[in-house]
Structure 1
Amino acid sequence: MKSALLGFQHLLAMYAGAILVPLIVGDAIGLTPKQLTYLVSIDIFMCGIATLLQIMTNRFFGIGLPVVLGCTFTAVGPMISIGAKYDVSAIYGSVIASGLIIVLISRYFGKLVRFFPPVVTGSVVTIIGVTLIPVAINNMAGGLDSPDFGSTANVLLSFGTLISIILIYKFSTGFIRSISILLGLVAGTVAAIFMGVVDFTNVHEASMLHVVMPFKLGMPSFHFLPILTMTLVAMVSLVESTGTYFALSDICEKEITKEDLARGYRSEGLASVIGGIFNAFPYTTFSQNVGLMQLSGVKSRKIIFITAIMLISLGLTPKIAAITTVIPTSVLGGAMVAMFGMVISQGIKMLSKVVSESQENAMIIACSVGIGLGVSVVPDLFNMFPEEVQILTSNGIVTGSLTAIVLNILFNMLPSKKKSKAAQAARDKEPEVVRLQGSSAN
């Protein structure tokens, strides 16, 4: 019983993040309530499968640490963008292809990670977070196509939800604080029920059980730019996951090797491939569960295994998933401001450690974030360029990411004149030092 309660605690800690991603993406790409119910349930189901792939260990996959996986929020903006420019099939094609690429490079990612230092990953995460904020603000008003866009009821619900999250976060500690967003969503939805703006029709019509089917929402299609976008997102997620792996290895007092890391990366790639096949999402480690583990002191893989089984069971019950679809768009918008704001703050936290190291890093951040945000706001900037060039310049996240990678190579990986002069000066002084040492010895 105690193990079940501990497992349920981990489920609650990650549940808001698990349901928000399909709700946001599904609403943005225009899914019907029935399709949205399926999307939420299959995402919860895949969170459990992805977690099992990671906590189990064999020669091919599984890092063997008590880690919970869920859909990464850094993928939300890119998926919405892909769905708007192409269609839902391109989203799943890019998820499957990027997962396969991660599986293939998992053994060598330790060497590729040098191209993704904090100045690059922090810039990418910041760009993604900033480009998501307009989505949150539109939802706070009720959604772009809503007939009551910006109504008093929508504004009150959205800000009421946000204020609830802030107050819970401020005046609580430990586990309650870790589920503040989930509690805020519940409070906002309860208020919406009393205001008479919640429709339970979808809950009544949803079945108690369903069979998980591949490609239920559509067959995948493969396009270069979406695949490149999701691969960059996946690589950034791997860098973040690496930090989580080492944090867990410290908590569990278990040393991890390069082979362990490769199996961990391979698990995330494999989870994305399976997620794409079943019309779900790419998956990564959830750091909030690491915090909960530190808080409770319980670091057993058995507990996380129970959490995974609970997630799989919930994913097979559409009736429960349908409950989440009744959350009003404005309530979601209030929670999204906090969630996406946390993405930005995570990026800023990563950048704060490197911006003071050199003026070059400050220039990398300035240009990559500026270009990434600029292209997102003005997507027609490169419309006069050849189509081959537009493949890389039509998406702000890709443009900003590539800018950060190229500038990091230019400023931090190629030898500069200052470094060359310093090295030459050291070499010029070396004979003199040797002579001085020789004279002192005599």
Structure 2
Amino acid sequence: MRTFTLGMQHVLAMFAGAILVPILLSQALNLTSEQTAYLIAIDLFTCGVATILQSWKTKYSGIGLPAVLGASVVAAGPMIAIGGEYGMTAIYGSILVSGLIVVLFAKYLSHVIHFFPPVVTGTVITLIGLTLLPVGINNMAGGAGSDSFGDLDNVLLGLGVLALILILQSFFKGPLRSLSILIGLIAGTIFVAARGTINFSEVAEASWVSMPQPFYFGMPTFEIGAIIPMLIVTLIILFESTGVFLALGKVCDEKVEAADLERGYRAEGIAFLVGGLFNGFAYNTFAQNVGLVQLSRVKTVTVTFTAGFILIALGLTPKIAALIKLIPPPALGAAMVVLFGMVAVSGIRMLTQVDLDDNKNVLVISVALGLGLGTTIVPELFAQMPEQISFLFHDGIITGSLAAIGLHLLNVTKEVFSHRFQEQVSFKRSLQLTLEENNKHA
């Protein structure tokens, strides 16, 4: 019973962050009620499978530490952009390709991640958080396009849920603090239900058990304009997970070696493949659960195995997904504002590691954020670009990411050539001095 309770605690800690991603994607792409319920259910199911894969240490995959995986909010923006441009099937084609590359090349990806230092990852994660914040604000007002958009009742409910989350975060510790977003969502839903404005008929009609359906949205399609941004996001997700792996190792008194990282990356790659197969999401190891391991001092993977099986059970129960779907948009918006704001802050925290006295770093950050946010605000900026390359500029997150990566690589290339040039000059000068000295002796 104690193991089950601790496993449920892990599920509750990651639950809000996990369910917000499918709801966000569903709203942005105007999916049907049935499709939304499927996305929520399959997300929970795949979170459970991914958690078990990461906790189970084998020769080829699994970090073997008490890790919990969930849908990556970092991938939400690019997935929405891909879905809007190419359709749902292209989202899952790009996830499958990314997962396959991670599985096959996990051993070498730690070297590729060196091209994503804090100046790049911090900028991109900050950009993702800032770009997604308007979605949360729209939901607080009742949801973009809704008849009640901006009604005082919606705004007050959103602000009330936001205030509750802030109070729990500021004045409480332990479980109440770590579950603040989930508590806020539940409180907002109960408040609206008490007023009799929630229709529970869909919950009553939903079945108790269902099985995942491969390629629910259709056979995957493979668009280069979808694959490239998803690969970039995948590398950023792996960079984030690396930090979580190292933190987990420290908490559990386990030294994380290169081989452990390789297995951890491969487990996340397999999670991507499962997500692509059943039309779930891109998954990463959740940082909030590291704090729970430290708080509970229970460092055994038995607990996260239990959490994984609980998530699978929840994902196989459509009534749970139908119930989650009833969360009112204003409450959801308040949670999104907190969550996406925290994403932006985590990016800013990474940028504090960057030497901002170096003008090259400042230019990378300013240009990438400028182009990324600019493209988000004025999407027509690159409308006349040739069709062959326009896919690189149809989304602010992609544009900003490519700018950050490109400028960083340019700086690295310049430094390499400058270093080699200085070596050549030094060698020639040394050779000249040697010849002059020989001539004197001659």
Alignment TM-score > 0.5, same fold: yes
Deviation for aligned residue 1:417: 8.7
- TM-score, structure 1 as length reference: 0.93
- Aligned counterpart, 2:337: 337
User: Matched residues in 1 for 2:85 and 2:416: separation?
Assistant: 41
**Partner of 1:436 in structure 2?**
none
CA 1:256–1:417: 2 relative to 1, 3 Å: closer
1:39 and 2:46 aligned:
no
Query: In the TM superposition, what is the alpha-carbon distance from 1:35 to its structure 2 partner?
Result: 1.9
- 1:310 maps onto 2:310 in alignment: yes
CA contact (8 A) 1:208 1:318 kept: yes
Residues 241-288 of structure 1: per-residue CA shift (max 9 Å, x gap): 001111111122222222221111111111111111101101100000
Indicate yes or no: 2:319 matched with 1:319. Answer: yes
Query: CA offset at residue 218 of structure 1?
Result: 2.7
Mapped partners of 1:409, 1:378: distance in 2: 27
Matches within 5 A, 1:51-90: 51-90=51-90
Q: Aligned with 1:401: secondary structure?
A: helix
State which drifts further: 111-120 or 187-196: 187-196
CA distance in 1, matches of 2:96, 2:424: 50
Corresponding residue for residue 437 of structure 2: none
Distance 1:413 1:53 in 2: 39
Q: What percent of counterpart residues are identical?
A: 48
- Residue 415 of structure 1 aligns to a residue whose secondary structure is helix
Q: Which residue in the other structure is 1:150 paired with? A: 150
Deviation at 1:424, TM superposition (A): 8.8
For 1:276, the aligned partner's letter is G
How has the CA–CA distance of structure 1 residues 6 and 413 changed in structure 2, closer, same or farther, with 3 Å as cutoff?
Answer: farther
Cα deviation, 1:113-132, whole Å, max 9, x if unaligned, reads: 11100100011101111110
Displacement of 1:327 in angstroms is 0.5
1:375 matched residue in structure 2: 375
Matches within 5 A, 1:66-145: 66-145=66-145
CA distance in 2: counterparts of 1:54 and 1:156, whole angstroms: 41
- The amino acid across from 2:350 in the alignment is M
Name 2:435's counterpart in structure 1: none
Query: Cα distance, 1:427 vs. partner?
Result: 8.4
Aligned equivalents of 2:234, 2:305: Cα separation in 1: 24
Cα RMSD for the two superposed structures: 2.1
d(CA) in 2 for partners of 1:71 and 1:430? 58
The reply to whether residue 236 of structure 1 matches residue 236 of structure 2 is yes
One-letter amino acid matched to 1:368: A
Cα displacement (A) at 1:14: 0.6
Instruction: State how far apart, in whole Å, the 1-side matches of 2:101 and 2:397 are.
Output: 19
Matched, 1:405 2:408: no
Letter in 2 for 1:26: S
Q: Amino acid of the residue matched to residue 17 of structure 1?
A: G
After superposition, where does 1:218-229 map in structure 2 within 5 Å?
Answer: 218-229=218-229
**Map of 2:214 onto structure 1:** 214
Query: Are the aligned partners of 1:33 and 1:202 in contact in 2 as well (CA < 8 Å)?
Result: no
Q: In structure 2, do the counterparts of structure 1 residues 164 and 427 end up closer, same or farther at CA, with 3 Å as the change threshold?
A: farther
Partner of 2:70: helix, strand, or coil?
strand
Query: Counterparts of 1:418 and 1:329 in 2: how far apart (Å)?
Result: 54
Q: Tell me the distance in 1 between the aligned counterparts of 2:355 and 2:161.
A: 34
Moved more, 86-95 or 295-304: 86-95
TM-score (norm 2): 0.93
SS of structure 2 residue aligned to 1:385: coil
Provide closer, same or farther for how the CA distance between residues 178 and 384 of structure 1 changes in structure 2, counting only shifts above 3 A: same
What secondary structure sits across from 1:196 in the alignment?
coil
Q: How many angstroms does 1:219 deviate by? A: 2.4
Partner of 2:439: none
Bigger Cα displacement from structure 2, 381-390 vs 289-298: 381-390
Say if 2:255 is the partner of 1:259: no
**Residue equivalent to 2:26:** 26
- Give the conservation status (yes or no) of the 8 Å contact 1:210–1:317: yes
Q: Is the 8 A contact 1:198 1:326 kept in 2?
A: yes
Indicate the SS of the match to 1:367: helix
| Aligned 1:418-429 pairs, distance under 5 A | none
Q: Which runs of 4+ in 1 moved over 3 A?
A: 416-431
Q: Report the counterpart of residue 358 of structure 1 in structure 2.
A: 358
**Which amino acid letter does the alignment assign opposite residue 151 of structure 2?**
S
Distance 1:330 1:21 in 2: 16
Distance across 2 between alignment mates of 1:398 and 1:286: 23
Compared CA separation, residues 95 and 181, structure 1 to 2 (3 A)? same
* 1:27 CA drift (Å): 2.0
Answering whether residue 11 of structure 2 is matched by residue 4 of structure 1, we say: no
| 1:358–1:258 Cα change, 3 Å | same
Tell me the equivalent position of 1:48: 48
Quote the Cα distance in structure 1 between the aligned partners of 2:339 and 2:221.
30
The one-character-per-residue Cα deviations of 1:223-255 (angstroms, maximum 9, x if unpaired) are 111111111111100001001111111122222
Q: How far apart are residue 413 of structure 1 and its match?
A: 4.9
Per the alignment, in what secondary structure is the counterpart of residue 216 of structure 1? coil
Distance 1:236 1:417, change over 3 A: closer
Asked if the contact 1:198/1:327 (under 8 Å) is kept, the reply is no
In 2, distance between residues paired with 1:428 and 1:169? 63
Quick one: distance in 1 between partners of 2:394 and 2:28? Answer: 19
- Letter of the structure 2 residue corresponding to residue 14 of structure 1: M
Local SS of the residue matching 1:197: coil
For 1:165 and 1:140, locate their aligned partners in 2 and report how far apart those are by CA, in whole Å.
14
Kindly state the Cα deviation for residue 416 of structure 1 after the two structures are TM-superposed: 7.1
Please, which moves more after superposition, 197-206 or 337-346?
197-206
Shift of 1:60: 2.1
In 2, Cα distance between equivalents of 1:417 and 1:326: 58
> Corresponding residue for 1:435?
none
CA distance in 2, matches of 1:204, 1:5: 28
Amino acid at match of 2:244: T
SS class of match (1:393)? coil
Return the offset for 1:389: 2.2
Distance 1:419 1:40, change over 3 A: same
- 1:293 maps to what in 2? 293
